[in-house]
Structure 1
Amino acid sequence: MERTLCTGVDGSPESLAAARWAAAEAVLRDARLHLIHVADHGPNEPGPAGAVARRRARLVLDEAEEQVRSVCPSVRLSDEHAGGPATAALLRAADDAVMTVLGSRGLGAVKGLLVGSVAQGVLARTVRPAVLVRAAERQSNDAVVLGIDVAEQCDEVIDFAFSSALAHRAPLRVVHAWHDPSPADIDPGDRALAEQPKRVREWQGFVDAVLRPWRLKHPDVAVTETVEKGHPAPMLLDAATDAGLLVVGRHVREHPHIGSQTGSVTHHVIHHATCPVAVVPHG
């Protein structure tokens, strides 16, 4: 079955930037790019409203295709005009894609990104990786930044980051933030581990152990690690200042319609990162 990337387009600069980014990624990953435009009136809607919606959808899709072809002439394309609601339509398309790419409105480096309700709904519910791309494209290197929590099982997130670094022939920066446990969480026999030099070595050992299988699987990926005491969100934003992609994880919930959330760290970085952010669901 052909690998597919999906991106939603609505004619906005944000969605067109996402389409261009997705096209380059599709070429790198030898995949087809599927453009989807979602409207209140679907392609089979009868009457004048349906006719207007179909004309509007064709104009939006044609513009997106033109922009995509201008940067990636060789990309394989397909397109779709779907009826709303937008979040549900994009989630259906995401089910058949290896990755969904969405635009995000930029408000500047200080205020960060404003992620719309549709994008947040897709991020919180899709079981596939999703990437947010801001409209203000800027020069950056190709480095991939990965935020991990070694206390969690997050193989899907690590695999996506290594695969992305390999596809881009880019270095991978791994960031892990640790904090001191509360005294109540430390057994009497482990008091010595609370001393900071020993804690640093302990956490570094955990990170090395988690990454070892992936280093062996992808020996061509140059990996650097940052293991520091602190809060993960600002550490990730600092590491990703000039990166090409920031990769973070999100827990897959058994009932995703209840309190659809991305987690506090992921929520923070998708609103403030200045580079594309990949959110990868994991168990």
Structure 2
Amino acid sequence: MAEPIIVGVDGSDSSLQAVTWAAREAALRNAPLRLVHVTLRWAYDVPLVPQPAHWGPAAESTARRLLRHASEQARAAAPTVTVDTEIADGATAEAIIAAAGTAQMIVVGSRGRGGFAGLLLGSVSRALADRSPRPVVVVGEPRTEHGTEIAVGVTGRPGQEGTLEFAFHEATLHGLPLRMVHAWTHPAVRAPGDMQPLVFDLEGVGQEEARLLAESIGGWRERFPDVPVVEQVVHEHPARALIDASASAELVVVGAPGPARILGSTVHALLPHAHAPVAVVQQAPPPTRRA
């Protein structure tokens, strides 16, 4: 059986949107769905003021009710998908990562219930995107229309193989074209010690960036010949370019620097403003240079 898709559930409308998206994705991947609700089972002697409610029958009943409602939502969206549930204990992001194990991906809403008790899933989504070795999909507000393509941010630098593979696979599953977005603000540095010029030819640099994009995706076109590809090179901040692309996208795929590293400014700017779900895929670290 395929590895599961994990969804963080906190009872908010945002997390239920994530459940619906994940259920449909699980159906496409022929994968089971696991709904995870995280709670902190505080001891009475924890020095917090005000003291949170202690875990007990009432809290457990609430957690199971949330999961039951989320399960019903998942089955309504994808009746053929196998759904199971789990109550995890601990800090939310770490508990979801631990529950994910070898899962295909983690899916969460962009915003939680808010406040201390709700564990604000908005901060959790960022923490997961920052730390999870698995792809993390952040689902925002519901849309009235489906997107017409998958969009992916392409840097042209090494380490993006996982990001591109995920994007091509999504385009195949959804039967949609793939828009490869390469945004630049200054000429690329090609080698250590290179200096960026203070003045440069926009048209000439744009042509060079287009060549860089074409070179970086050439092999991927051969691996996925049935996926129509649109190459887009823009003189724009990458976050702005991807936010614009998200308006017509079913999903936006972006690479993150890698586990235990701080998310780049592009991902942080994209997550709260994208018009479509965003998949954050950890990139391989750059190769270590030998002295």
More helix by share: 1
2:104: which partner in 1?
98
**What displacement does 1:182 show?**
9.4
Give 3-state SS (helix, strand or coil) of 1:41's partner.
coil
The answer to whether 1:122 aligns with 2:128 is yes
Counterpart contact for 1:130–1:280, Cα < 8 Å: yes
Match of residue 32 from structure 1: 32
Quote the offset at 1:262 in angstroms. Answer: 1.4
Q: Which residue number in structure 2 is paired with residue 18 of structure 1? A: 18
Tell me by how many angstroms 1:163 deviates.
Answer: 0.4
Change (3 A) 1:117 1:180: closer
Which residue identity lines up with residue 148 of structure 1 in the other structure? V
The Cα offsets for residues 149-181 of structure 1, whole Å up to 9 and x where unpaired, read as 113421000000000000000111111012334
Whole-angstrom distance in 2 between the partners of 1:41 and 1:180: 50
1:97-246 correspondence runs (5 A): 97-105=103-111, 116-181=122-187, 185=194, 194-246=200-252
Q: State the identity %.
A: 38
Seen in structure 2, the aligned counterparts of structure 1 residues 9 and 274 have a Cα distance that, compared at 3 Å, is same
Alpha-carbon spacing, 1:115–1:181, altered in 2? closer, same or farther (3 Å): farther
Q: Deviations over 1:66-88 (max 9, x none)?
A: 11111111111111011122121
RMSD: 2.4
In the other structure, the counterpart of 2:276 is: 275
Partner of 2:117: none
The 1:119–1:180 alpha-carbon spacing in structure 2 relative to 1, beyond 3 Å, is closer
Are the equivalent residues in 2 in contact too, given 1:38–1:81 (CA < 8 A)?
Answer: yes
TM-score by length of 1: 0.86
Contact 2:110–2:272 (Cα < 8 Å) also in 1: no
Superposed CA offset, 1:206-227 (max 9, x none): 1111111111111110100111
Q: Which amino acid aligns with 2:270?
A: V
Residue type of the alignment partner of 1:74: T
Q: Which amino acid aligns with 2:128?
A: V
TM-score, normalised by the number of residues in structure 2: 0.83
Give the number of equivalent residue pairs: 262
Q: 1:9 to 1:161 in 2, by over 3 A?
A: same
Q: CA deviation at 1:93?
A: 1.8
Q: Which amino acid aligns with 2:59?
A: A
Query: Cα distance 1:75–1:100, how it changes in 2: closer, same or farther (>3 A)?
Result: same
Unaligned runs of 5+ in 2: 43-53, 113-119, 285-291
Runs of 4+ residues deviating >6 angstroms: none
Q: Does 1:86 align with 2:92?
A: yes
- The residue number in structure 2 matching 1:45 is none
Alpha-carbon distance, 1:147 to partner: 0.6
| Counterpart residue identity of residue 251, structure 2 | L
AA partner of residue 249 (structure 1): G
Contact 1:142 1:245 in 2 (8 A): no
